[in-house]
């Protein structure tokens, strides 16, 4: 007699939702925060609702992807521990949870207006296209990930009825590409054992240690040196666009002081990706790396001081 299906313990069901990755959805607060209205309860409440809505819909997408990718995940050193790949949650249980999440997202988005609902629907369709085809196309895979962050920003601005800054949109796009290419680099290193020339001291191996297509097929279209260049370019563009926003995007030029922690945070992340082979889980870096946490905290303190409390220095 075959063994009964897994019961789906609460801890496994919660893990299936990937709550640690909900931190990405804080981007939705950008509309209220960068417009200087975060302390206005009307804006704050709508921003909080859109964050929850996007967290629910992103969990829906994660669950569906885990169901579709369960065989590939079982060949990955880290992803094999996911509840569906590990067999601790059954597919019917996972799909029931997915339906619940998408229903929560629809209800909350409908409360915020048709624009937010349309953006969430676009996000779902884009991610299904990603899972079906786009994730296997080099460069397109990272661009779709970045587009997901742009949709989050637009959902946040639509919820509070403000227009996003063009400089911040560009900054967010390049930052998302930077994180996506850093993730690909870490994944490639995890499955092949490749390192950059600076770390390895010799040329990359001719053949991978394992079949990269067994975990993420697009990885064989990249190499470490290429991804290092992509990361460096995107890091440069992220810093440049944020610096231009701080100098040109707001009447108070004192905002340029917030560029310093941005630069240090980007440099720290580059160090982790290229020297210590991290970056496969950006959300994990966010919660465990104290220098990046300090850079974010310093940026937050400076930004709030300038925009919300009127800090000014003499800048022409």
- pLDDT of res. 199: 47
Contact indicator for 155, 30 with CB cutoff of 8 Å: no
Those residues whose C-beta lies under 8 Å from the C-beta of residue 84, and which sit 6 or more positions away, are 16, 66, 67, 70, 73, 91, 94
Question: Where is average pLDDT lowest: 20-34, 122-136, 182-196, 199-213?
Answer: 199-213
SS3 117: helix
160 contacts 35 by C-beta, under 8 angstroms: yes
What are the tens digits of pLDDT across the range 274-311? 888 887 788 888 888 999 999 999 999 999 999 999 88
pLDDT > 90: what percent of the chain? 62
Q: What does the pLDDT average to over 177-194?
A: 83
Kindly report, as residue ranges, where domains of CATH 1.10.357.140 are found in the chain: 8-164
Cβ of 159: how many Cβ atoms within 10 Å? 30
Phi, psi (rounded to 5 degrees) for 229: -65, -45
Fold assignment, 8-164: Tetracycline Repressor; domain 2 (1.10.357)
Separation of alpha carbons 197 and 117, rounded Å: 47
Say how many CA atoms lie within 13 Å of 212 toward its Cβ.
22
What whole-number distance in Å separates Cα of residue 285 and Cα of residue 109? 30
Instruction: Taking each helix axis as running N to C, give the angle between helix 10-17 and helix 41-68, from 0 to 180 degrees, rounded to the nearest 10.
Output: 110
């Amino acid at each position: 007699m075959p063994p009964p299906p897994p019961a789906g313990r609460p801890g496994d069901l919660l893990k299936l939702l990937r709550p640690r990755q909900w931190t990405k959805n804080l981007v939705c607060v950008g509309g209220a925060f960068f417009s200087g209205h975060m302390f206005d309860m009307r804006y704050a409440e709508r921003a909080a609702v859109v964050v929850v809505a996007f967290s629910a819909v992103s969990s829906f997408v994660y669950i569906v992807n885990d169901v579709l990718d369960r065989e590939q995940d079982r060949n990955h050193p880290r992803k094999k521990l996911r509840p569906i790949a590990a067999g601790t949650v059954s597919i019917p249980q996972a799909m029931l949870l997915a339906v619940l999440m998408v229903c929560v997202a629809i209800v909350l988005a409908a409360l915020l207006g048709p624009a937010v609902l349309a953006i969430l629907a676009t996000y779902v369709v884009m991610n299904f296209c990603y899972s079906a085809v786009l994730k296997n196309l080099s460069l397109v895979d990272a661009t779709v990930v970045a587009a997901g962050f742009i949709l989050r920003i637009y959902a946040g601005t639509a919820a509070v009825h403000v227009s996003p800054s063009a400089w911040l949109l560009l900054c967010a796009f390049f930052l998302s590409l930077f994180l996506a290419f850093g993730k690909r680099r870490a994944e490639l290193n995890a499955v092949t054992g490749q390192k950059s020339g600076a770390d390895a001291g010799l040329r990359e191996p001719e053949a991978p240690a394992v079949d990269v297509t067994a975990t993420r097929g697009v990885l064989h279209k990249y190499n470490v040196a290429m991804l290092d260049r992509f990361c460096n370019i995107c890091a440069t563009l992220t810093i440049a666009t944020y610096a231009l926003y701080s100098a040109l995007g707001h009447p108070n030029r004192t905002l340029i002081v917030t560029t310093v922690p941005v630069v240090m945070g980007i440099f720290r992340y580059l160090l982790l990706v290229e020297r210590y082979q991290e970056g496969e889980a950006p959300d994990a870096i966010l919660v465990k790396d104290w220098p990046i946490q300090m850079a974010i905290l310093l940026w937050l303190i400076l930004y709030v001081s300038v925009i919300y409390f009127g800090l000014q220095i003499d800048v022409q």
